[in-house]
Amino acid sequence: MNKIRFASLTMAALTLTARAFEEDFESGRYDQWSVEGAAFGKGPVEIVGLDGSLPGMPWSKFYCPGRQGRFVAHSAPEANLAAQGKLTSKPFGIDKKAIRFLIGGGSGQATRMDLLIDGRPVRSASGEGVMGVTQRVWDVSEFKGKQGVLQIVDAAADGYIVVDGILTSDSLDLAPRAEDPRDFLTLRPVEQKNTPPWPDGWVKDPNAKLLFMGDSITAGWDVNAFHKSSPNRNFVNLGRSMEQVAHLLWRLDHINCDGAQAKLIVLMIGSNDGACNFSAQDVAAGVAAVVAKLRAKMPQAKVLVMSILPRGDHAKDEQQAYTRINPLLAKLADGSNVFYLDIFGKYLGRYDMIDRTLMNDLVHPTAKGYELWAEAMEPVLKKLLD
């Protein structure tokens, strides 16, 4: 009788241990995790969205497209990329076919999530250079009946990892998910509803014959670098940090271009969309919509569409912009009003990786990188402006 009772208690304990693992971090605490090091802070990071951000707020707290809910596990909660640490989950029983999760951040093995079985890593995933998070799934059917432990690791001196929405499932399919609208189409309208889409006066600026539009890559233009190749030219820079295609479309819907003097608009947009895992077709369609809107708003101006630059720690053949988006952007050129200039390859160096002297953060050009862009662009400017 005692043996039967003991066996029943043992089965009950195993059943309790083998519960399905779920973690969305919405408690705001690391209740199911042990914390090592300083990287992950005192608890999950609450993402407020750009419309809720305040001056001086760390970037990690206001921009994480693709997340589920408000909180995420983030290894740079105060935007300190040098901090290192580890989250280790409580053991859980594997009783389903798959583990699904959202992950983003660095692309190297120093920033990753591992599944450990008997203390040995059997599955691993990095952020793959995604800004925000994207959905991943592991097939763990071969480990059914075993105990697993998850570890979220940041061992990088200059990197971070974000994880959200972990759950076990009997489906290996990547199900469609609804994104938080604050990070996408409605984000800029919320932020800008009571302010002009760009500072007043740009239309009448005598330098506005040449306009630059785009995201932070455009916003960061080094004027001195530009003037090395184009000493007698000036421009008005309308680039905005963290801009996506939808944000720029909204601006163009809300500006008055009466009296605009623009003769040429240099457009580089889509990098943030690609980094947020939008498809190449969607990004290209969005850029095409921007071009069409520019031509409708300022029909006297020609548009120079720039290729998207390489981004992240990936070789050339792994770069989404190179392999999928840029060839579609090239098709927007008509040779009379819309032109295309591909400078992607100029930023690659040894082993077809980004040359860090040209893009030291793997996203934005350095002064030398902007010089390279200006040099490549000047013959086109001469042809279309002079």
pLDDT in tens, 189-201: 434 444 556 766 7
β-strand pairing of 92-93 with 147-154: antiparallel
Concatenate the DSSP letters of all residues of 169-196 into one string: ES--S----PPPGGGTTTHHHHHHTTS-
| Per-chain mean pLDDT for the chain | 85
**Considering the entire predicted model, what is its pTM?**
0.65
- Identify the pLDDT of residue 25: 96
Q: What is the DSSP letter of 342?
A: -
- CB of 62 within 8 A of CB of 53? yes
pLDDT in tens, 171-189: 887 654 444 433 443 334 4
Average pLDDT over residues 295-311: 95
- CB of 273 within 8 A of CB of 286? yes
Q: What are phi and psi of 188, to 5 degrees?
A: -70, -40
- Identify the pLDDT of residue 183: 42
Specify which of 178-187, 246-255, 335-344 reaches the highest per-range mean pLDDT.
335-344
- Identify the pLDDT of residue 14: 39
Share of the chain above pLDDT 70, in %: 85
Amino acid at 356: R
- CB of 242 within 8 A of CB of 216? yes
What are the chain's domains? Answer: 17-171 (2.60.120.260), 184-385 (3.40.50.1110)
Minimum mean pLDDT among 4-13, 226-235, 263-272: which range? Answer: 4-13
Q: Which residue has the higher pLDDT, 280 or 237?
A: 237
Q: Where residue 67 falls among pLDDT bands split at 50, 70, 90?
A: confident
Query: Cα(263)–Cα(255) distance, rounded to whole angstroms?
Result: 17
- Identify the pLDDT of residue 74: 97
Q: Where residue 12 falls among pLDDT bands split at 50, 70, 90?
A: very low
Query: Cα(81)–Cα(276) distance, rounded to whole angstroms?
Result: 20
Q: How many CB atoms lie within 10 A of CB 202?
A: 18
- Identify the pLDDT of residue 322: 75
